[in-house]
Homo-oligomer: A and B are copies of this chain.
Amino acid sequence: MACLEQIEPALERFVNGLALPIALVDAIRYAVLGRGKRLRPVLAWHACAAVHPEPARSLRAGVAVELVHAFSLVHDDLPAMDDDDLRRGMPTLHVHAGEAMAILAGDAMLALAFQHLADPTEEPRLAAALVGELAHATGGMIAGQVYDTLGGLPEGLSDLDRVRLVHRNKTGALIRAAVRMGAMAGDASAGDLAALTRFGDAAGLMFQVVDDLLDVESTVEQTGKRTRKDAPLGKLTYPGVLGIDGARREVEDLERLALQALRPLGPASHGLAALVAILARRRS
């Protein structure tokens, strides 16, 4: 995607500009400049493009949301959490640099995301709005992780409502925020922001349902991370609740919902439409 030619260098500039201990910068570089798909900055870019002729305005938001995503992977992989040793086909950060550094580097990435948004050169109203949006989504993501790994979901929900609540928070919150932040950076009208929020809601949930299906269907070679981990842990998944065919139908429904949400935005939103089609059909 053409936008990656601006997103990757923006991430590199950010990491190379850090005035922090060398070992800490190396750990952040390892976690951020891996082989990520950059889904969240790409979504921010195309959401911005849907409402503004200069999608590069979304780069600051894209870097910040990618930092939060990278932080969440580093902490989720820790021995006390999911205890994963492989990520994007490479040793996880705590395997590579030790557990203490993985905790500290994750913490630093989270703080740096907000520092980046609050840069003094940024227009203060936009900066404050982006910080609020990203912080709120980070809280949602952590809430999803608590439900997913430690339990405590509200009583009286069906299994489908439970898995939906976990997924909307754990993965959906940050994807929704990426879309909204791109739109906000593009100075979206209230109506356009509402439409893009509906898109982000559907696309975020869809992304995690596809992830559940890949966990059942794929091998470690295809995804670059350990697969078939969910079932042995008794985790709630869409294939577990709806069956594989049911989960596939859910992906189709959510893709349709996402595309419907884009209609009022017209041709400027074709980038987002193409993206959601790719995400619905991804194999890794």
Residues on A lying within 8 angstroms of B by beta carbon are 20-24, 71, 75, 78-81, 98-101, 103-104, 106-108, 110-112, 114-115, 117-120, 122, 124-125, 127-129, 131-132, 134-136, 138-139, 142-143, 145-147, 149-153
Contacts and interface: CB of A to CB of B under 8 A. Distances in A.
Contact of A132 (B99, B103, B115, B134): B115
Contacts of A22: 152
- Which of A22, A139, A147, A149 has the most chain B CB atoms closer than 10 A to its own CB? A139
A24 to B, nearest CB: 5
A181 B151 CA distance: 37
A100 B81 contact: yes
27 contacts: A21-B153, A22-B152, A23-B146, A23-B151, A71-B107, A75-B104, A78-B103, A81-B104, A103-B103, A104-B142, A104-B146, A104-B150, A108-B143, A111-B135, A111-B142, A114-B114, A114-B135, A115-B131, A115-B135, A117-B131, A118-B131, A118-B135, A124-B124, A124-B125, A127-B128, A127-B131, A128-B128
Given A20-B146, A22-B152, A108-B138, 19 more contacts: A20-B139, A24-B143, A24-B146, A78-B103, A79-B80, A80-B98, A81-B100, A101-B146, A104-B145, A106-B107, A107-B110, A107-B142, A110-B111, A111-B135, A111-B142, A112-B135, A114-B134, A120-B132, A127-B127
Contacts of A132: 115, 118-120
B110 A139 contact: no
Task: Count chain B CB atoms within 10 A of each CB in A117, A120, A122, A142 and give the residue with the most.
Answer: A142
Copies in the complex: 2
A151 to B, nearest CB: 8
A153 B20 CA distance: 11
